[in-house]
Structure 1
């Protein structure tokens, strides 16, 4: 510190860049004295100094490219690749904490992942009976049925023996990983969740070759992939994400429309059909688009003009029949 002040008194035309190493207790005092002398240090490091932080500080002071930026860039690129590879994957989140649910929903939803949420292990088993999933994110400590018991139960079923189950636990004690593996889980993510760890782990267990996250490359009845890709200017990753969101939103289309009809809410019923018509046209589902348009017209006639009520039920059945393979593809077409 005193050497740096002495250099400042020498009025050097080109003073060398300086990295100042300090103990934690002298940082504020050093900053005050530098400010009084109107001296700018290129960096201030607190001891103990690691080799990597010292190297980065020196390279920064000399305005030379360092490894830190490249490492950061590589991490960002890897995260982007992992997120893109997971678009369209079907994941079941088993978590009872609403804040953790919201956080996971935001992180995974923005990656185009189709997410279902169960409050406990028993609900998770019920979801697995209803829908296929590529992976389960399983909290370990939950009421009703915890993650260990739920995993042991699902492993007893032949159809779920190979389903990846990733434990999520706030515990970080020695032996936790062995405990989750012994319960039949495949891997472990610590809470609070680290975003890089989350996506790298998911990508490891839901690789790009998994059928359900190759949404833009497979054919389904009623799906014109070329037309759908054209509407998003050939952006396949975006198309996958939109298909995933379509599945999540429209899986309960019939229930929502029938509920609106039961409440005699004509506006809500018409909006259901109208929204489906619009999205089906965007995603390359021409037959569904035409059927939804016919249903919308019948609903408008019934609620706004007082006619056409008899046509609604067969039109709704037709829409539901065409929608079914698109939101819950049969086993031979689970890759959309």
Structure 2
């Protein structure tokens, strides 16, 4: 009898009736008389019903619906927008009647949607398997000798593959979001690498359309936050993809900033050559969206729904998409800021105002004093110029120039006597890494304490060739006499020396320091268990084992000194943060007309790397330490084949931490591996692109 009453209520014509879920107020049903009362069809209002509630009444109405108990009735009044955009007052009676109304709404129940999501997930998997094989063959073909048309066709095939995969992922997520079964992980991750990866993936499509793609990450944004990294990247990717798709000329700018306790993401695109999103309305979209009516809106719909699922708000207006997400700080301290361009006066010359401003922000965050101009008349009292390749005519002599290369640019810029070259879009990590290398770094001073004359000579000559000023001491007592706080960039300290050993010298140096801390690297021939721990306990910061290799010393000084002014890296601007010897060996393996071995290894790295990182994260989340260790070991082997020594070391440490059951330490190492993965990926890609661009 009560079911008949519910059926009658849903279909009566003198009142507007709606049915919604109490958890998130998703509207499942609007009575057929919606047109008579509100001037719109029910299907049109399902996705925007709550947008019609007056902004001042929304919070109150939302609270009433959520707190209503089973069987309870409540009368309320709220203002609702009429067809002429005026607001009328509605009197409503709401009640919770789950058992009977849900039976009438069976096609919309979550259980039906769960079954649909499971089916779609299975289809998604079955489709990806043959597609992966087809694209693998395309990758192999790209490594053979091809003419321009053949290569272009294969690149289009690859792009189509990426588009289909993105479509399938978004479609699956849309169904899971609709069914309220999408789960979000909660773990620390680095914000900047995630943003840079999104920009890097969108760059080829933007370049093909002649668009300027710009990434702006404010210095106010924390280095790392807690949340679901994959979904965060997907949200950014959908916003950028939507903007690139709808822009035919001009700029697409992704900006990340902090606003109070929220992370604010804004993607702007030039409105003169773009179109607004279908059905988009300025202001916050507070009502639950319905399932997208067309494929065209799928990307934006998923972005909007993911934002709401993460507890944020989504805004859309012509030429601008914005979302705000609550910030959750991770455990532990953030890494110290390292101003690699401190004291430098830099001129930015770029015809694109957004790109110019983004470069200025990056350089300012790195400690530089920045001026921007699109003409060379502003060149006064500067010691570095960052210039777009379109602005090189009339460039002054005597000032080092970093040339920004467009992926669609000509080879003429390669003939310019630049101090370095960077591809656009410029990523903050790339520019920071470049400025942390000679010739952009000043000479640094190293104190070497070693009693063996042969080792002293080797250390002195090696460090001098790497660009350091070297001072020598024969024992710990001499080292202590030479040492002054803030004088040396680092100290390399032999552990076993006459008069005073390295352990005692280090202890006394630490007592001598006041507030500052000089990086001290232990030098020992002992590999026995506990040797490293003894060095660290005495106050040393890192550890080198004899016999020494130049590459080992080079990498250690490049990566491990957390000083306010970082160490110079002993590579030229075109080199990568990888073992240069291994890179050269890999490139030498490919004969004329043969596919590049380095490119094949790169594809393996970018395919297997994310899978291994995801397995590590999942294993750590479920406390499966052996699986985490095995996955780290597998990833370590992949890194070794490419000479990614820093990432390989992090994998080794994570493997050990996982086997020891130290989950917190393993989780922190996983975050560092994520950041290092992006550094290695970008470096390899830049190396491959640089090789391809050589005339």
Q: By percentage of residues, which structure has more strand?
A: 2
Greater per-residue helix proportion: 1
Q: Structure with the greater relative contact order (CA < 8 A, sep ≥ 6): 1 or 2? A: 1
TM-score, scaled relative to structure 1: 0.37
The structure with the largest alpha-carbon Rg is: 2
Give the TM-score of the pair, scaled to structure 2: 0.18
